[in-house]
Structure 1
Amino acid sequence: MSGDITRAIRKPRFWELFPLIWLIWLIYPIQDFTAKPRPLPDTLLFWGSLVAFCGVYARTFMPDQPDDRWAYAGWAAALLMWLLGLHLYGPSSFSFLIYGASLIGWQRSQRVAILGAGVNLLLMLGMILSGRGQWGDLIFTLFVLVAAYGNHASYVSLAARRKLLQMQQEKEKLAADAERERIARDLHDLLGHTLSVIVLKSELAGKLAEKNPQRAAEEIREVERISREALQEVRLAVSGYRGSGLNAELARAKVALDAAGVKLSVTDSLPQLPSAVEASAAMLLREAVTNVVRHAHASEVTVSLTQTPRAYRLSIADNGVGGEAPEGTGLTGMRERLRAIGGVLERDGKNGTRLVALFPAEGKEQRAEGAAGVHA
């Protein structure tokens, strides 16, 4: 599940691509350049450099691959575009000094961001004082500092989220490794001695088969008894590995959703559930959270669990994109599992996605436990 969460978190969200909207202000240099006929070399130089600048700008602000070096390259590219613009079409190249300030802010050093923005500010003031800009353009000098500082703050926030995600992944990996070691240790302690006894008694029965058939039969019956006891112990051990209940699954869901920037709200106190019902409810919650992280683009998930005289009602709703897309194998499997224990699963794709599961409150416990054993 952690791999799916990682991919979902690193998928750019629309607000992370917001800096690309500011490329719309390139319309002013384009208008000035195309206002009159230009020589072919100037035309090729203008459009080629503009496309290259847009590529550097877009790469700098890629939210899943922040890199300080691209901020420096973008700043330098903006200064070159400013100089080129002064040569080709005049004062509207002023725009590239603002672009350069926003680009130099997209890195980790506040000092470098302010220094780079300061250089661009001095260049803008120089244009105004030299008559290549208008005094009304002074208002745009504020954008230089605001763009640099704002982008720097956004970059630092993104870096902190990525570090938190990395720490969470490391914790999950360490927890998984510890759990595997615990299972291996428990199985070794549980079965090592028992299997050794079974091997010894089987060898003894084979040796006694011709000399003392009655004693050999007793040994075989003893092997059967030990094997049944070992099988029961393994079943009990495996049942302990099947999760730690709905509360624990809610805690894991909160960690996953927090990492994805999604708020989890639990609207009701959770009633005590029969073991098989709780196992199915925890699995449904896990599947729903996985789908939210992968596909929903939601900002909030609400979970409620209520009890009626005849059923438990689990509701999991998000405020994401919703829709009625075909169900995957996860939800299809949950429908079959609920059907096996006498429950039903409903799905509503309007205004986000809502899953409502009804679990039988009584009379189905033995059937539920049997179904859980079949699906395990």
Structure 2
Amino acid sequence: MLFWGTLGVFVTLYVAYYWREDGGERRDTQWALAAFWGTLTAAIVLGGVVGASATGLLIYGAFMVGYQPRLRLALGLVLGVYVLPLLGAVLWTREQWSGQEWGPGVVLGVTTLCAYLLFGAYSAHQEWRGRWAMRQLRAAQAEKERVAADAERERIARDLHDLLGHTLSVIVLKSELAARLTDQAPDRAAAEIREVERISREALGEVRAAVQGYRGSGFSAELARAKVALDTAGIRLNITAPLPELPEPLQSTLAMVLREAVTNVVRHSGATELRLTLESGSGGYRLMLHDDGSGELAPDGTGLSSMRERLRAMGGSLERTGGSGTRLVAWVPLEGHGEPGLDSGGVAYP
């Protein structure tokens, strides 16, 4: 009962140690020390039951105490609490086995165990440093993305203010003037209204041009965003071949297909990998997306039907097959791409 109870406590501590959430340096040190002393206690208790074989638990303690920021503390504890007492015990009892055939084996075994304990603490510390660096890198990347997003929002707000602020002020003034002249000078009021219409059309064109500039990031930028979305969902993007240079009129069309397909792969496929192939053929380009998900094909939704109809109107096609994952193939011809800025709903892509 004592053996199984102590072993159960140790296993619980060990699992909790490695499954805990990432914490700060202080918290990692606290966990490491708790695991170290807990493992030592378990080894002492079990030593009275199973004998010297309980020292195997010390290996776990050495690894766990090393998984924290203070390497000197880890090595000092392993050396002072594990290694030196073990070596002292061997030397103290050497007369009991001196000259016996198995004596040198004991010395070699204890020496190897002591070296492995120190190496275990050191290697665990190096692993902690690697994970801590990755944790810091992720935090820095998130902060960088947040700052970039804030800067982009400020830029858009500034552009729209510069673009529309003066124009809307002029429209308001001319509209008020036209309202006052309606009874006194109808012809002049009509002229002011026509001027308001002209300014409004120019402003609308400028806004459309600005919005197109925000959207017009092309296939490469959409591919970068797709990779971020897939990485976040734990899906690996495998680009099977070098990507050809896309003509400008086809950039937004294939970017739209990629965006909708990736969105639905992330949401519905349950895949772990998405293979992407973009090929240039006679008269057009073929984009193939093949995931390793469930492969179950639901009936075509509105988004998929709309996308297929739009591509067909351009002389292209869209095919979807299931089975071993789901495969989506979009063919876009060089000629007949009359709608470069397609805007469809979500693709019903399981």
**What TM-score does the superposition give when structure 1 sets the normalisation length?**
0.71
1:79 is matched with: 40
Q: Tell me the alpha carbon deviations over residues 29-70 of structure 1, each in whole angstroms, 9 at most, x when there is no partner.
A: xxxxxxxxxxxxxx2x55444333323222322375152321
Shift of 1:156: 1.4
Q: CA–CA distance in 2 between the matches of 1:46 and 1:93?
A: 11
Unaligned stretches of 5+ residues in structure 2: 98-102
1:70 is matched with: 31
1:100 is matched with: 61
Aligned 8 A contact 2:297 2:322 in 1: no
2:117 to 144, 156, 169: 144
Pick 1 or 2: higher relative contact order, CA cutoff 8 A, min separation 6: 1
2:337 is matched with: 365
1:323 to 289, 294, 312: 294
| Equivalent runs, 1:284-295 vs 2, <5 Å | 284-285=257-258
Identity over aligned pairs, percent: 40
Shift of 1:253: 5.6
Describe the SS at the equivalent of 1:306.
Answer: strand
2:164 to 187, 191, 198: 191
Question: Which stretch shows the higher mean deviation, 247-256 or 144-153?
Answer: 247-256
Q: CA–CA distance in 1 between the matches of 2:253 and 2:89?
A: 69
1:61 to 18, 36, 48: 18
- The yes-or-no answer on 1:52 pairing with 2:13 is no
Describe the SS at the equivalent of 1:170.
Answer: helix
2:83 is matched with: 121
Q: CA–CA distance in 1 between the matches of 2:35 and 2:244?
A: 53
Q: CA–CA distance in 1 between the matches of 2:260 and 2:30?
A: 40
Shift of 1:258: 8.1
Q: CA–CA distance in 1 between the matches of 2:14 and 2:296?
A: 36
Q: CA–CA distance in 2 between the matches of 1:249 and 1:48?
A: 56
Q: CA–CA distance in 2 between the matches of 1:104 and 1:261?
A: 34
**Equivalent residue letter for 1:267:** A
After superposition, the Cα gap between the structure-2 partners of 1:197 and 1:287, relative to the gap in structure 1 and judged at 3 Å, is: same
Shift of 1:151: 1.9
Aligned 8 A contact 2:240 2:277 in 1: yes
Q: CA–CA distance in 2 between the matches of 1:289 and 1:127?
A: 63
**What TM-score does the superposition give when structure 2 sets the normalisation length?**
0.76
Aligned residues: 322
After superposition, the Cα gap between the structure-2 partners of 1:101 and 1:333, relative to the gap in structure 1 and judged at 3 Å, is: farther
Describe the SS at the equivalent of 1:90.
Answer: helix
Aligned 8 A contact 1:315 1:357 in 2: yes
2:100 is matched with: none
1:9 is matched with: none
| Equivalent runs, 1:148-227 vs 2, <5 Å | 148-227=121-200
After superposition, the Cα gap between the structure-2 partners of 1:54 and 1:288, relative to the gap in structure 1 and judged at 3 Å, is: farther
After superposition, the Cα gap between the structure-2 partners of 1:59 and 1:335, relative to the gap in structure 1 and judged at 3 Å, is: farther
Shift of 1:195: 0.5
Pair member with larger Rg: 2
Q: CA–CA distance in 2 between the matches of 1:278 and 1:348?
A: 27
Q: Tell me the alpha carbon deviations over residues 104-124 of structure 1, each in whole angstroms, 9 at most, x when there is no partner.
A: 121122222322332323344
Superposition RMSD on alpha carbons, in Å? 3.7
Aligned 8 A contact 1:257 1:264 in 2: no
Aligned 8 A contact 1:254 1:264 in 2: no
After superposition, the Cα gap between the structure-2 partners of 1:172 and 1:286, relative to the gap in structure 1 and judged at 3 Å, is: farther
Describe the SS at the equivalent of 1:61.
Answer: helix
Aligned 8 A contact 1:284 1:334 in 2: no
**Equivalent residue letter for 1:194:** T
Shift of 1:311: 2.8
Unaligned stretches of 5+ residues in structure 1: 1-42
Q: CA–CA distance in 2 between the matches of 1:367 and 1:185?
A: 30
2:310 to 314, 336, 340: 340
1:232 is matched with: 205
